[in-house]
Structure 1
Amino acid sequence: MPSDSGGTPAPIEARLLEMVFPDHTNHLGTLFGGQALAWMDKAAFIAASRYARRSVVTARSEQVDFRLPIRQGQLVEAVARIVEVGRSSMQVEVELIAEDLLSGEREPCTRGRFVMIALDARGRPTAVPSLPA
């Protein structure tokens, strides 16, 4: 299993929480798609950086499915998981889950996949550890 410099297994998941405020929404009071993508990319970046313990960049976003609208006033949890690793690339699946703060009801709303590339000190693609079996 990959490990950080202290010998601890490298995490393959990252979770972020964001609150949907009026400046994040469109004229219908739902989260802008671009804002959702930004939060997803941020979560993918953190998951890949923690896993590889290297600088990473986004190479591609794939198949983003907006299933349900996320409304102003909801809490959004972004869950990013490393699901596949190549030589220098990591595929990160990200899901946005909307939560009503008063009722506690949670619903998966958006899912997508991001390809992140690890870079060396000169900004060139560099190897990352294999996923544990």
Structure 2
Amino acid sequence: MRAARPIEARPTEARMTEIVFPDHTNHLGTLFGGQALAWMDEAAFIAASRYSRCTVVTARSEQIDFHLAVPKGALVELIARVVATGRTSMQVEVEMYREDLLSGDSDLATRGRFTMVALDPHGQPTPVPALSA
């Protein structure tokens, strides 16, 4: 039987790792911006869901900055953090790092902010806990 994790503060962070396969790339052999946004939205969804323990939906994506192209074959690590809460919403910042699989070199490729809204079982916005300092 597996031991339960001790009760701690609500998790505010989620991490994902993906690899950029050819079907994720454009004609230049770099990651499609839309694929990057999809992975970032997924990471934001996981972070907000874990924090609120509710079903969540994306209400807004904003200030998406593409710093570096991500080539085919690279790993990407996405780090999503709940950084602020409203009554029913959460602001989630997501950073996407590109990593060379062979050398291990890693650089910030993309950064963005997402607003996620918590929903009750009837699909209506529901309150989320305030973010602790």
TM-score (norm. length: structure 1): 0.94
CA RMSD in angstroms, aligned pairs only: 0.9
1:105 corresponding residue in structure 2: 105
Q: Unpaired runs of 5+ in structure 2? A: 1-5
> Counterpart of 1:35?
35
Distance 1:22 1:110 in 2: 19
Secondary structure of the 1:50 match is: helix
Alpha-carbon distance, 1:9 to partner: 1.8
TM-score (norm 2): 0.94
Aligned partner letter, 2:90: M
Superposed, which structure 2 residues align to 1:81-100 within 5 Å?
A: 81-100=81-100
User: Within 5 Å, which residues of 2 pair with 1:1-133?
Assistant: 7-133=7-133
Q: Which residue number corresponds to residue 3 of structure 1?
A: none
Partner amino acid, structure 2, of 1:69: A
Please give the alpha-carbon distance, in whole angstroms, between the structure 1 residues aligned to 2:49 and 2:79: 15
Displaced runs of 4+ in structure 1, greater than 6 A?
none
Q: What amino acid is the match of 1:17?
A: T
Query: Equivalents in 1 of 2:71, 2:92: separation in Å?
Result: 25
% same residue:
67
**Helix, strand or coil: the match of 2:56?**
strand
After superposition, what is the alpha-carbon deviation per residue over 1:101-131, rounded to whole angstroms, capped at 9, x for unaligned? 1111000000000000000111000000011
Deviations 1:80-106 (A, max 9, x none): 000110000000000100000111100
Question: Which segments of 5 or more consecutive residues in structure 1 lack a partner in the other structure?
Answer: 1-5
Equivalent AA in structure 1 for residue 79 of structure 2: V
Task: State the distance in 2 between where 1:96 and 1:60 align.
Answer: 18
Give the paired residue count: 128
Letter in 2 for 1:54: C
